[in-house]
Chains A and B, each alone.
Chain A
Amino acid sequence: MSTLVITELMDIEGIDGIDTYVKNKGYEGLKKALKEYTPDELIEYVKASGLRGRGGAGFPTGLKWSFVPKNPGKPKYLCVNCDESEPGTCKDRDMVTYLPHQLLEGIAICCYAVGINQAFIYIRGEMLEGYEILEKAVEEAVQRNFLGDNILGTDFSLDVVVHRGAGAYICGEESALLSSLEGERGFPRLKPPFPAVEGLYACPTVINNVETLSTLPAIMRKGAEWYSSLGTERSKGTRVLCLSGHVNKPGNYELELGASMRHLIEECGGGVMGGELKAIIPGGASAPMLTKEHLDVALDFEAIAAAGSMAGSGAVIVINDKTCIVKTCLNLDQFFEEESCGKCTPCREGTKWLVDILTRMVNGHGRPEDIDLLKSVCNNILGNTFCPLGDSATSCIMSAFKYFPEEFEHYAHHGCSILEGKKEMAKS
């Protein structure tokens, strides 16, 4: 059994209430941070822990904080990214519903380190329950002076506002999140300037994922050294993996980084359901697929990248051999087509085109030339878009072409899935 860092307290009855949380060493981390560290020391401390962002890109958290100017002459902000919309990802939701105070404590630690007095939690609009729990938790924390003015008798004050999104995946992208929070259209913004310098309302802004911040209290309590002893050389600590798809026991599992995919699927998930393993998407819908060959790949940032995919949001989707890969691609790309913000041409037009072609193929009207066309359209999107969403739309198709080219060929030549066997083409 792996060490639990983030979900350690999750099973305790009533842990979403402040009393239970405080009884279980809650807000100890914050007290320690306020008492024993100056903000600069705290940033160094988090750097030393080796914590990396859990929102997708895996950027070192301490380093990100250190980019924020010390005395910019204007306010600084923290935006907590709780827009969790990546298909397959469901960890932030649990962290917010079960351990809201752990998140708030993490927020307070971060804000103290960076010198922020105003934090926003941007929560996905559909997570109404989480929103209500957070609102209540903020109220409780203010009453107990863990938030609010002069926290615990220091001169550090912090106000936390919970803001609900309106249902757009792109608003999880950090700059689009800022636009949305400011009341503008959810379009990603040009970088540079980077949010650390010019973010929300053109002021220095830190944007962190819920899981990233929820890890901080434990790091404070148990020490950076302890945390960095977990995990691998470059991917420290643990992370919550969201296992879904054709497994017997889907769910959120906290594992030390470096645990293998086999461990997750077979030990934790109870093995593949309804057939043999065919493909694994290791990091949310944006990540390229891997196959059963990759079962022994470790689930850390570097190992997955080396295998040709990405750790992304930590959503592991298991696909069994009764599943048509072309239809899987269609399903995934329908998501990206729906969620494309429409700002840039390749993504706006390209995702629609991909969906159109795949739909036509799945409906039995594929043509041999569609194979090259699909590849070429993917190529034309890849690397040409404004933000990474467009690129993401191509990763499933590109990887499917790599591992399962025959499935596309079959649709193109026979008008049906390879799983349905060779049928005569319906067309005359």
Chain B
Amino acid sequence: MADDLVNITIDGHQMAVPKGTLLVEAARQIGIEIPVYCYHPKMKPVGACRVCLVEVENQRRPMMPACTTTVMPDMVVHTRSDNAVEARGAVLEFLLINHPLDCPVCDRAGECDLQDFTQKYGNGNTRFIEQKRHFAKSKQVGKNVVLDRERCIMCQRCVRFCEEIAMEEGLVIVDRGNRSEIGTFEGRSFDSKFSGNVIELCPVGALTAKTYRFESRPWEQQHYAGICNVSSLGVNITVDVRYDEVVRLRGRMNDEIDDGWLSDKCRYSHLAIHSDDRILSPMVRNDQGQLTKVSWAAALERIVQAFPENASQIGLAVGTRLSVEDGHMLLRLGRGLLKTPNVVHEHEAESLGTNTTLTGRVKGCDAADVILCLGSDPAKSHHDFELRIKKGLRNKARLICIGEQPALVGYADYQVIGVASELWSKLKKELKKETTEEESGLRFPKPRPWEAGGETSQDWDALVKEIRGAENVLVVVSGDIAGQGLQDVARDVEDLGWNTAPHGVIHLRSGVNPVGHESIGLIPEWDEDGNQALAKAWEGMNTDSGLSYAEMCRGKTEMLLAFGCNPLAQPESKKPKFLVQAATHPDETTEKADVVLPLSMWVEYNGVYISTDGTVQFNRQAILPLGEAQPAWSIARELCLRLGASDLPENPRAVYSEVGSLHAALAGATYKDFQTPGQYHWSYPQQADLGMPRPDLSAIPVKEPDMPMWMPAPLTGSTVEGAGRLHRGQTPPPVPGQRDPREIAKLLGLNHPMDRTAPPALTAGGAEKKDGYIPLRVVPSTSAEPAGPTPAGRHHEIGVGPRRRVAVPVAQTALLEASDAADNTTEDGGEE
């Protein structure tokens, strides 16, 4: 153990760090900041920008880049010696001489590493009187990526992302030396599935998103920790909100799932939130067959009256974009009160049943020897997973694609085209034969297909050998695997002895939260033994097996309530006698529905989602529900009330506690699982196996707060000055040798904006916010407050031109505050 540690001294602090640690990382461990531009913890260091130069004693060249230098025994490093300070200042000066004075109009201002480091380490004046280098301003390099070459500092992060992480042709450096610029190959456009990541990676404002350009400034935003609502991977995101508008989504580093990357499909999914066609009020179809706006009360009344006598003629279909809480309340409505057996989620057909244990995890790609895509094509269905597979390939994994020709084939070492289930049985048989010695030994390096010159092999025998020599195998299946004849794959993999987490089978599910819905029983078969607590609590509930989703779509029930799904888009679908849909945007079902209810989108309410590999995660509400929209749990609750129920949970927190007390799969779960005081990260890896998610509360890792990606760790980047990156009430960490800005403010007799010891008192509800909660905006409600624009009103005054969104009445803002305050107290019985 001691052999692997190296003693070094940084700025007089002695420390022992593992061999091979980079100096930047070692310094960070003891809270010493070394600025970086080109370095990024998820990419290979290049040592290009030179801003991280530190002085190392007894070296031929004493100024060494901290981002490429690994620790050596008894190294003595100075990050604040005269030489180090001079070199850092020099590099910043060099970067600035040709940098335009764009900050006032630059998207990045306020969260720009060039601004921040210049403030901290720069020289404060300019000696440059020559002509600056000029390029034509914005240049659109891709569908949504706009480049400003003048602002680029040539850190190559974007280029390296394309090459190393996405492993595809994308942005490149054109020309050389001082004339270098970022660009694409001639005549090509940068339209990668992952293009948005380079915008986030860019430490300056050179790469910007078309959807975000000139839309917002970081300091007007609040950041919320969310979960992607596009795929079932549970990618972690940061939802950035300007007043009441979600202006962008960013990655949020979670090494278990996403490594901080985000596919464009997810990154731009917020555009739907404020789109013009959002359904924002309840509607009922009138005699002329037209949908007309009505009040919530009228719409609900209409539904209650339409319930048929025979309960089994009612169907409830639940979309997988809905949260666990939504699902639970709908289950209560359906099985508990309406007493119908027909409550299922839309992708229930893919379910393997709760008895099947799958051990594969997203992060299983990292150490896999073989990744076997069995009839699945993550490149088409689960973009974010593609990046993880590529990470595995870079590590050591061989990619084998079996089935129809998948899009990932350009990266596959082996490919066999055919019917996946047939090929799988053949493979299975051959793998069960004894392994000979020569097969299990060394694997010879040969050029990989994605490196120049390599070829995808179709050699079956070589493929079998490859798998035999492998220790960790990750089998990737997706969608309806029973339909593909692969329903036994989990058992086969167990037979082959591959089922040790994180390897084994990973089942990439359609939709977002099917695993969550399955864990609370939204499938046709009802597991009576496993749900005894529920049966006791909901006396008289229906415990029969019900219809499948496909059957419901075919009009097997007289009445169908579709929450967040589109049954009439299914093949052979037929409108039932009475159709209710709660939807966010109009679709085929809306066209025929008798009652349409406005449904909240995922950023509009708190909720828990369980990812495809069983990670249970919390998604924080970021904005108020738009218009009259309501989350599904709340609509279900209203209907339950009208059916005579009482004592219903009043908010998602209470619903989730009820989930924890009634469902065996999530026994004991509460929102507290996701909260560690002072932290904003609410995700914990699931401890039990897939299908039976069961949180082990003792093992919740404490994660960093939502960390912007261009800030590799809390101490780098603008944690001090960039108010945009601090959450309200959070104190900036001290930086050695750095004057506290509040101290300076005090000397100047000013009130520093961050000098707030207590979080601002909230008006509505009177309750103070708990640590770890990002309070929603404060609403000036008493006359003692200075008369000024309210957040909602201000929106229109500040914004440029007409906005897409609907103004939210102030009263409702206050209401939400109240409910949120109640949210905090119900469960905890007060504040700690």
Which A residues form the contact surface with B (CB < 8 A)?
A: 74, 168, 183, 185-186, 190, 337-346, 348-353, 356-357, 360, 373, 376, 379-381, 383-386
Contact A353 B128 (CB under 8 A): yes
Q: Assess the B94–A190 pair: CB atoms within 8 A.
A: no
List residues of chain A with CB within 8 A of the CB of B175: 342
Complex Cα spacing A385 to B51, Å: 11
Of the listed residues A339, A342, A386, the one surrounded by the most CB atoms of chain B closer than 10 A to its CB is: A342
Contact A190 B154, beta carbon cutoff 8 Å: no
Distance (Å) between the CB of A117 and the closest chain B CB?
17
B90 near A342 with CB under 8 A, answer no
Nearest-neighbour CB distance to chain A for B179, whole angstroms, equals: 8
Contacts of A353 in B (CB 8 A): 94, 97, 128, 130
CB distance from B616 to the nearest CB of A (A): 41
Q: Is the CB of A373 within 8 A of B177?
A: no
Q: A337, B178: Cβ atoms under 8 Å?
A: yes
| A338–B90 alpha-carbon span in the complex (Å) | 21
Cβ-defined contact, A342 with B63, below 8 A = no
Distance between B380 CB and nearest chain A CB, rounded to angstroms = 30
Given contacts A356-B131, A373-B127, 13 further A-B contacts (CB under 8 A): A168-B176, A190-B46, A190-B68, A340-B178, A343-B48, A345-B94, A348-B154, A349-B94, A353-B128, A376-B127, A380-B90, A383-B63, A386-B48
Q: Which of B121-156 contact A (CB under 8 A)?
A: 127-128, 130-131, 133, 153-154, 156
The smallest C-beta distance from B90 to any residue of chain A, in angstroms, reads: 3
Interface residue from A74, A342, A344, A349 paired with B97 (Cβ < 8 Å):
A349
Give the complex CA separation of A100 and B93 in angstroms: 48
Q: A350-B94, A384-B87, A386-B47 in contact; A341/B130 too (CB < 8 A)? A: no
Partner of B50, one of A190, A338, A385: A385
Closest residue on chain A to residue B61 by CB atoms? A383
Pick from A183, A380, A383: contact of B94, CB under 8 Å: A380
Indicate if the CB atoms of B177 and A348 lie closer than 8 Å: yes
B91 at the interface (CB under 8 A from A): yes
**Shortest Cβ gap from A69 to chain B (Å):** 15
List residues of chain A with CB within 8 A of the CB of B90: 346, 379-381, 384
Cβ of B452 within 8 Å of any chain A Cβ, yes or no, is yes
Chain A residues with CB under 8 A of B759: none
Within B40-91, the residues touching A (CB, 8 Å) are: 45-51, 53, 61-63, 68, 86-87, 90-91
Cα of A350 to Cα of B177 in the assembled complex, Å: 10
Q: Which B residues contact A (CB, under 8 angstroms)?
A: 45-51, 53, 61-63, 68, 86-87, 90-91, 93-95, 97-98, 127-128, 130-131, 133, 153-154, 156, 173, 175-180, 445, 452
10 example contacts (A-B, Cβ-Cβ < 8 A) are as follows A168-B176, A343-B154, A343-B156, A345-B91, A345-B153, A351-B177, A351-B178, A352-B177, A383-B61, A386-B47
CA distance A348 to B48 in the complex (A): 10
Measured between beta carbons, the chain B residues less than 8 angstroms from A186 are 176
B87 to chain A, nearest CB (A): 5
A346–B177 CB distance below 8 A: no
The 10 closest A-B pairs by CB, nearest first: A380-B90, A349-B94, A342-B180, A340-B177, A356-B130, A352-B178, A342-B177, A342-B176, A345-B94, A343-B48
Number of cross-chain contacts by CB at 8 Å: 96
Which of B93, B153, B173, B178 is within 8 Å of A380, CB to CB?
B93
Give the complex CA separation of A381 and B179 in angstroms. 18
CB-CB under 8 A for A190 and B45, given A342-B173, A386-B50: yes
**Are A344 and B98 in touch, CB under 8 angstroms?**
no
- How far, in angstroms, from A384 to B47 measured CA to CA in the complex? 11
Residues of B within 8 A of A376 (CB): 127
Which residues of chain B are near A385, meaning CB under 8 Å? 50
Bound CA–CA A148/B597 (angstroms): 80
Instruction: Name the A residues within 8 Å of B61 (CB-CB).
Output: 383
Q: How far is the CB of A215 from chain B (nearest CB, A)?
A: 28
How distant is the Cα of A337 from the Cα of B154 in the complex, in angstroms?
16
Q: Contact at B48–A183, with CB atoms within 8 Å?
A: no
Which chain B positions have C-beta within 8 A of A168? 176
**Could you say which of B49, B175, B176, B177 has the most chain A C-beta atoms within 10 Å of its C-beta?**
B177
Report B59 CB to chain A, min CB distance, Å. Answer: 10
Q: How far is the CA of A385 from the CA of B65 in the complex (A)?
A: 10
A373 to B130 alpha-carbon distance, docked (Å): 13
Residues of B contacting A360 in the complex (Cβ-Cβ under 8 angstroms): 130
- In Å, the complex CA distance between A342 and B50 comes to 12
Query: Which residue on chain B has the smallest CB distance to residue A342?
Result: B180
Closest CB-CB distance, A133 to chain B, in whole Å? 29
Enumerate chain A residues within 8 angstroms of B48, measured Cβ to Cβ: 343-345, 386
For residue A92, give the distance in angstroms from its CB to the closest CB of chain B. 23
Q: Which chain B residues lie closer than 8 Å to A348 at the CB level?
A: 94, 154, 177-178, 180
Is B176's CB under 8 angstroms from A345's CB?
Answer: no
Q: Report yes or no: B173 in contact with A349, Cβ–Cβ below 8 A.
A: no
Nearest opposing residue in chain B for A367, CB measure: B129
CB-CB under 8 A from A339, the residues of chain B are 177
What's the least CB distance linking A318 to chain B, in Å?
Answer: 29
**Chain A hits for B128, CB < 8 A:** 353
Closest to A74 in B: B445
A183 B176 Cβ-Cβ under 8 A: no
Give bound CA distance, A360 to B130, whole Å: 9
